[in-house]
Chains A and B, each alone.
Chain A
């Protein structure tokens, strides 16, 4: 039918093979698509600027954190403890945990122990809402020796709840 129609109105010589109604539809569809493309110029720059800013800030923190923990673990593995953090807030979940994970990543193959190898340490933020993820970890002297632990670090929450500091206490001379 379309072939017949095209033949009757002499459109068969068109390079694109389109009939007039096709042209209208094409123009309409292209207008909508172009509108969507032009619209797409609106949001991404804001998103990218925001992402650039937040990632840049996080990268600065990460660099100092990496440096700190690489220095601490220069001579061996460490045990890390957390004190004074509230598990019901996102303070622990989003900041401290990320710091721990980033430090564990940056210092590998050195190890930062928050638990022994039989205690699962969860990762996702949501898992922390289920309960205290890291039970108290008090390894024996033998365990520390076996795992080449040279220091225990305590991360404490400051009374104002905004800052933390890391306290270094050597477990071995």
Chain B
């Protein structure tokens, strides 16, 4: 019974995600794999957001609430269909050529990675420190408490080890599953995050396939999902992999929009940026960086009227989605970490000697094997070759986003009041995981200029640039 309820919950995520996708894209035709991946990723964004809004209104998480969300999204599809039409998944039988045998090792690696992560996640309860203390603890509380009881939790300092002011997307995603199965099961509870990871694997392939030949897209996907960094964290029940996944979605569609994509791309970039800030505190600066990039690069690249109309609509729409969490978080006590509280010039100046050491560490982390499957080295090589021959604007925007992302972490490490070397030791792999999708996309976009995929040039605004 818990297994059936879990599957029903994952289908609910897919349904809500599909409704949101149709709302953003209208009646666009997209490949079936992309519709599946985006529905899953959007479902894992929208359902926790909806559950959060409902919990603010005092609702107790359970099957009744989930049934209400299911019925509402089902009825929500009707007006979307009438006004904008639903996204049409397209399917075309792949015509394999002789070189496509090169797919084999990549496919084996992708499947092996997905099975391994699934097996590790569903074999054990929550063991990872953060998985238990922050994300798992919050999920259990959100599943069991509501109203004043929930309010008390967020103001009980003795439970501060669970980081009272940390974002709630992952806990609500897990708590939703607990609500569906009617009990707290921290082994099965990781199914929501796993579902998100499977969708991510498909998303990376679809994104890569848009710009690269099939066998090359599969190779890039294999490198992205089988990296030890990813395997280490994807099934642990922490929020690091979800943040990396939402960040991947946000920057990919942001670049597509900047380089002439549709308003649907802007909506996807916006809503995944909201997901970032609702997943981890690190997501807030990432959302701000995305907004900055959209404002600056969009201004330079898009027709002014369209730019203003689309950016304005997306910022307002996504701002409305994010505002309840921002206000709620603002009302919570900020006891530990509190990086914004340390962000002042005197702290930065007094800790400036950390910067060279940290830069050196960043370089070592990125290019150290075997954490990232050579992705950083390949991305750097492809970027340099691209710069010398056919520079890819998409790769350059990605590089900007990556450098801005790393700058945020550099600043956080510079101002942290905690012992730096130990903090770095326990956190750097996860921070590198957050930046990993940017490395994958730099590789992908740079390769698309070196080895273009003529078959899809007409479909993609980035390939056609």
A residues near B, CB below 8 A? 15-18, 22, 25-26, 29-30, 32-34, 36-44, 47-48, 51-52, 55-56, 58-59, 62-63, 97-98, 101-102, 104-105, 108-109, 113-127, 129-130
User: Complex formed: what's the CA distance from A108 to B137 in Å?
Assistant: 9
| Structural contact, B336 and A59, CB atoms closer than 8 A | no
Chain A nearest Cβ from B358, distance in angstroms: 16
8 Å CB contact of A43 from B105, B136, B144, B228? B228
Other than A52-B120, A98-B129, A117-B158, give 4 A-B pairs with Cβ distance below 8 A.
A33-B378, A39-B373, A56-B123, A121-B158
**CB closest residue in chain B, given A15:** B97
Q: Kindly state the separation between the CA atoms of A121 and B333 in the bound complex, as whole angstroms.
A: 13
Provide 16 A-B residue pairs closer than 8 Å at the C-beta atoms, listed in order of the A residue: A26-B451, A29-B216, A36-B373, A37-B105, A41-B109, A47-B370, A55-B120, A59-B124, A98-B132, A105-B132, A118-B158, A121-B160, A123-B134, A129-B422, A130-B418, A130-B419
C-alpha spacing A8/B1, complex, angstroms: 67
A121 to B231, CA, bound (A): 31
Check if B174 is an interface residue, CB within 8 A of chain A: no
Closest beta carbon of chain A to B366's beta carbon, Å: 15
Instruction: Let me know if B215 and A56 touch, CB within 8 A.
Output: no
9 smallest CB-CB distances across A and B, nearest first, come from: A123-B161, A43-B370, A17-B454, A33-B219, A120-B160, A101-B133, A126-B418, A120-B157, A36-B374
- A125 surroundings in chain B (CB, below 8 A): 129, 422, 426
Docked complex Cα distance between A51 and B429 (Å): 15
Most buried by B among A105, A108, A117: A105
Answer whether residue B45 sits at the interface, using C-beta atoms and an 8 A cutoff.
no
- On chain B, the residues within 8 Å of A114 by CB distance are 158
Cβ B422 vs Cβ A44 within 8 A: no
Contact partner of B216 among A30, A56, A98, A119, CB < 8 A?
A30
CB <8 Å contact, A62 and B419 = no
- Residue in A closest to B113 when the chains form the complex, CB atoms: A44
A117 to B108, CA, bound (A): 52
A51 to B141 alpha-carbon distance, docked (Å): 28
By the criterion CB–CB under 8 Å, are B157 and A126 in contact?
A: no
Asked if residues B219 and A37 are in contact (CB atoms below 8 Å), the reply is yes
Given contacts A47-B231, A105-B140, A108-B141, A123 and B163 within 8 Å (CB-CB): yes
Instruction: Produce 1/0 per residue, B413-449, CB < 8 A to A.
Output: 0000111001100100000000000000000000100
In whole angstroms, what is the CA distance A130 to B420 when docked? 11
**Alpha-carbon distance A97/B419, docked complex (angstroms):** 18
- State whether the Cβ of B74 lies closer than 8 Å to any Cβ in chain A: no
Is B145 in contact with chain A by the CB < 8 A criterion?
yes
Q: B205-242: contact bitstring with A at CB < 8 Å (1 yes, 0 no)?
A: 00000000101100110110011100110000000000
Within the complex, which residue of A25, A40, A63, A127 is in contact with B373, where a contact is CB–CB below 8 Å? Answer: A40
Nearest-Cβ distance from residue A73 to partner chain B, whole angstroms: 14
Known: A25-B451, A56-B124, A58-B127. A105 touches B426 (CB 8 A): no
For the complex, give the distance between the alpha carbons of A123 and B133 in Å.
Answer: 7
**Complex contacts, A56 vs chain B, CB 8 Å:** 123-124
Question: Chain A residue with minimal CB distance to B381?
Answer: A32
Q: How far is the CA of A17 from the CA of B419 in the complex (A)?
A: 57
Q: Which A residues are CB-close (under 8 A) to B144?
A: 108-109
Q: Is B336 a contact of A122 with CB atoms below 8 Å? A: yes
Interface residues on B, range: 35 or more
Is B295 located at the chain interface by the 8 A CB criterion?
Answer: no
Cβ contact within 8 Å between B161 and A101: yes
Residues of B contacting A34 in the complex (Cβ-Cβ under 8 angstroms): 102, 105, 219
- Distance from A99 Cβ to chain B, minimum over Cβ atoms (Å): 10
- Once the chains bind, are A126 and B145 in contact (CB under 8 Å)? no
User: Are the C-beta atoms of A101 and B129 separated by less than 8 Å?
Assistant: yes
Residue among A40, A62, A63, A126 facing the most chain B CB atoms (10 A cut-off): A40
Report chain A residues within 8 Å CB of B213: 16, 26
Distance between Cα atoms of A55 and B454 in the complex (Å): 46
Is there a chain A Cβ closer than 8 Å to B353's Cβ?
A: no
Cα of A18 to Cα of B219 in the assembled complex, Å? 20
Give the residues from 238 to 254 in chain B that come closer than 8 angstroms, CB to CB, to chain A: none
Indicate if the CB atoms of B423 and A126 lie closer than 8 Å. Answer: yes
Contact partners of B155 in chain A: CB under 8 A: 117
B454's contact among A16, A97, A127, by CB below 8 Å, is which? A16
**A126 near B160 (CB under 8 angstroms)?**
no
CA distance A52 to B115 in the complex (A): 13
Q: Which residues of B contact A40 (CB under 8 A)?
A: 109, 222-223, 226-227, 373-374
Q: Is B6 an interface residue (CB 8 A)?
A: no
Nearest A residue (CB) for B373: A40
B418 touches A62 (CB 8 A): no
Partner of B124, one of A41, A55, A108, A113: A55
Taking a contact as CB atoms under 8 Å apart, the answer to whether B159 and A55 are in contact is no
- List A contacts of B335 (CB < 8 A): 120
Residues of A within 8 A of B375 (CB): 36
The interface residues of chain B lying within 8 Å CB-to-CB of A26 are 213, 451
Residue among B125, B136, B378, B447 with max Cβ neighbours from chain A (10 Å): B125
The answer to whether B93 has its CB under 8 Å from any CB of chain A is no
Known: A17-B454, A44-B228, A123-B160. A39 touches B125 (CB 8 A): no
Query: How far, in whole Å, are A115 and B124 apart by their CA atoms in the complex?
Result: 30
Residue B162 is within 8 A (CB to CB) of chain A in the complex? yes
CA distance A125 to B336 in the complex (A): 12
A101 to B109, CA, bound (A): 36
A109 to B126, CA, bound (A): 17
A109 CB contacts on chain B under 8 angstroms: 144-145
Residue contact B232 to A47, C-beta cutoff 8 Å: yes
Bound Cα distance A39, B371 (Å): 12
